[in-house]
Structure 1
């Protein structure tokens, strides 16, 4: 029996997913690590008993429906399921409303939640939902807690880390901000809300860049490491800051490594304020640039950050560690973090693995089997000639080859690729820091017909 874990963005999500895989391997479970873009073609070939999807939205609803019809038990851990707002379109109540109106309650077997606040919203809507929804926390935050935090490291030390958060106006994977606009509508946000949000992003993006440029010029003795959001185009920042010697643009790897070695973190409404607090690094929020639309969409980062109320204030905070320590209370921020992110105790992946194992062992009337037609259709319902062609090539050449060809056409997709050697090294490192040896085999899964390699990596316990 096997469980497939879907990976959206490796830079952000891979460590948490592999930590789940590590715990499952220790329980004797075969694990598939499946890239998001290839899941519709590969899961019908692999026919795992359980799939852990990275989200449940309208744009992947037919995928989840077809998995369920094929007898695959569907579980969801939303990659953006914790940083919600108190009110408005991004509030827990609205999440529940969209979840139910889109019919996901009849498709999903288990929905894993980051924190109690979202569970409370589901309970208010349906008192009988407790078995379907499980609060586990989010495994990527396990890396902030010992022993896993001992794995964090970075090539520099003592710099000011600047985290950006503007994928809507500077997208890496969409062709334009218009596509991002439509993607927001597909989530279920109202058009007026999306218009206001995009307008705010447009206005604040330019102000944020101007502030960073001036800040770096005024503090030439300080190294600034700019970390673009995983869904942003890093090239924009390279061009913008190419003449500033004390600025380094680094979009690579897990941001936790950069937070771990930083002196402090500068941001505007960025969720990395959470990781910063968990790693005892002061997050400085540029509140003098903030506005009500941004705050309504995501208020928590501001609440748990040291506020810079002016540019002068920002300069003082990045220069003086003692002032940062006086103004910021790490213990106080936890009362805001825990309701949304549960215990943050380093054991979210363990809780997820245990729940997935229980789901795997539940009896089922329909046993998943390889389905070549579903592969041809990419597990989608609507007809697409291009999708059928891609499905045919996946069956004959294997998705590893077709995926590489697709990356040539769309180079930005390459950053979402997963390498076998990275998977092996990371899981072995988990075992090392926990001082519990593990033995497993790792290889690219193969097409059952052509025996050609897929992009999914198969992990088999010895």
Structure 2
């Protein structure tokens, strides 16, 4: 039987996977064949029909989207970072491309505020304001009966410091220059100033973690940004029995497991508040900081670690002023909405004229190349890492470093893990259908209705 294919590449597993899986389940329930996996997986490289939802509309995506369109694929874009940005000018320069908008079939936007930023660059007929699937799931968490906090009080600390604690080490500036985010000496100096201020906040977060470590009534889970090195957090956690680092569990599950969230300038703060969790912000004062404070409008904010600790030890989390619901909906259309964002996306895809194909899992299978086999052999221990380093020193180190970055963004997944997450979402939401999972490789799979 001919089927309509929906391709859902995921850049950052912790940020997007559960929401994309939820979207995929809704689409499969409507008869679509859904392909989900790491955006770097080969199953997304030779697509020739169907609909693909891309993660951004930035200039660096133009060639990829152009090739997809030339291959006969319908393409939609939804910028995963379309809610939080350092400034409107930087957002328009680095994440908005008129050439991309000209090529794509549909532009999904978070809300009317994002529309205001991009509408001069895009055909208004392509725009659909839907919100983001990540906020669909939070409504279901909020509607669950929340457990009363007992000791230990579980705290999720969300960090976002790749600027000064990057998994690439000192190479992040070079990477930003390479992809065109930084293209002038003025932008470089602005970024270096930003890093300097960010490091002050980073150090205050480290101090807070240690303060919590000395207070056994708290149990702390550190959730690092995917582009951060986790080594400094692991080293601190080793010194305390009530501090752990968790860079694997999906945010939706972490929000259920924890009583409150601590952040600075993170979308996680808004997601936590939407899920009904108390949120605390930590940012030292007088930094002349160019990161923006939109997310901090969803939290009770403090300027030092000592005050955060005192508040948590004594407060019953009295309510604090936040933006009214209708104001928030200007930024996030599906904020605690009756109708899910995923249903709007699926409906829009159903209305499009999209080529259909017969289902064949073999079309996605591909023999791994030499580089992929080499990496897998080294990682598995089949080839001694030190022996390989001797023969291929610099090149191997570069390949392995790139592999480490890729795995930090999207880890290896199994059929059992996908199945468990489907059951989790069925229990959380109103989905009742049974699904067929066909693994393509260890980072991608096909989802169909049984």
- Alpha carbons of 1:313 and 1:403: their partners in 2 closer, same or farther (altered >3 Å)? same
Query: What corresponds to 2:194 in structure 1?
Result: 197
Once the two structures are superposed, the pairs formed by residues 25-424 of structure 1 within 5 Å of their partners are 25-38=28-41, 41-84=42-85, 87-90=88-91, 93-94=92-93, 98-100=96-98, 103-123=99-119, 125=120, 129-146=123-140, 158-172=153-167, 175-180=168-173, 182-183=175-176, 186=179, 188-189=181-182, 190-217=187-214, 219-289=215-285, 291-293=287-289, 296-322=290-316, 324-326=317-319, 328-329=320-321, 332=323, 334=325, 337-344=328-335, 345=337, 347-359=340-352, 361-362=353-354, 395-397=366-368, 402=373, 405=376, 408=379, 409=400, 410-415=403-408, 416=410, 417-424=412-419
SS at match of 2:210: helix
Q: C-alpha distance in 1, partners of 2:435/2:244?
A: 38
Q: CA deviation at 1:443?
A: 0.8
- Contact 2:262 2:282 (C-alpha < 8 Å) held by counterparts: yes
Q: C-alpha distance in 1, partners of 2:327/2:370?
A: 43
- Alpha carbons of 1:231 and 1:243: their partners in 2 closer, same or farther (altered >3 Å)? same
Q: C-alpha distance in 1, partners of 2:56/2:143?
A: 26
SS at match of 1:34: strand
Q: Which runs of 5+ in 2 are unaligned?
A: 380-399
- Contact 2:159 2:222 (C-alpha < 8 Å) held by counterparts: yes
Q: C-alpha distance in 2, partners of 1:151/1:18?
A: 24
Query: What corresponds to 1:383 in structure 2?
Result: none
Q: How many residues align?
A: 412
Q: CA deviation at 1:184?
A: 6.5
1:318-348 per-residue CA deviation (whole Å, 9 max, x = no partner) reads 11232x314x245x46455322211322611
- Alpha carbons of 1:319 and 1:455: their partners in 2 closer, same or farther (altered >3 Å)? closer
Q: CA deviation at 1:454?
A: 7.8
- Alpha carbons of 1:335 and 1:232: their partners in 2 closer, same or farther (altered >3 Å)? farther
Query: What corresponds to 2:447 in structure 1?
Result: 459
Query: What corresponds to 1:14 in structure 2?
Result: 17
Q: Higher mean Cα deviation, 21-30 or 429-438? A: 429-438
What TM-score, normalized by structure 2, do the two folds share? Answer: 0.79
SS at match of 2:329: helix
1:441 pairs with one of 419, 423, 436: 436
Q: CA deviation at 1:301?
A: 1.7
- Contact 1:160 1:265 (C-alpha < 8 Å) held by counterparts: yes
SS at match of 1:297: coil
- Contact 1:4 1:32 (C-alpha < 8 Å) held by counterparts: yes
Q: C-alpha distance in 1, partners of 2:131/2:154?
A: 30
1:163-200 per-residue CA deviation (whole Å, 9 max, x = no partner) reads 1111222223xx22323553377353533432332232
Q: CA deviation at 1:299?
A: 1.7
- Alpha carbons of 1:148 and 1:259: their partners in 2 closer, same or farther (altered >3 Å)? closer
- Contact 2:75 2:106 (C-alpha < 8 Å) held by counterparts: yes
Q: Which runs of 5+ in 1 are unaligned?
A: 376-393, 446-452
What TM-score, normalized by structure 1, do the two folds share? Answer: 0.78
Q: C-alpha distance in 2, partners of 1:22/1:407?
A: 36
- Contact 2:140 2:429 (C-alpha < 8 Å) held by counterparts: no
SS at match of 2:162: coil
Q: Higher mean Cα deviation, 177-186 or 260-269? A: 177-186
- Alpha carbons of 1:333 and 1:85: their partners in 2 closer, same or farther (altered >3 Å)? farther
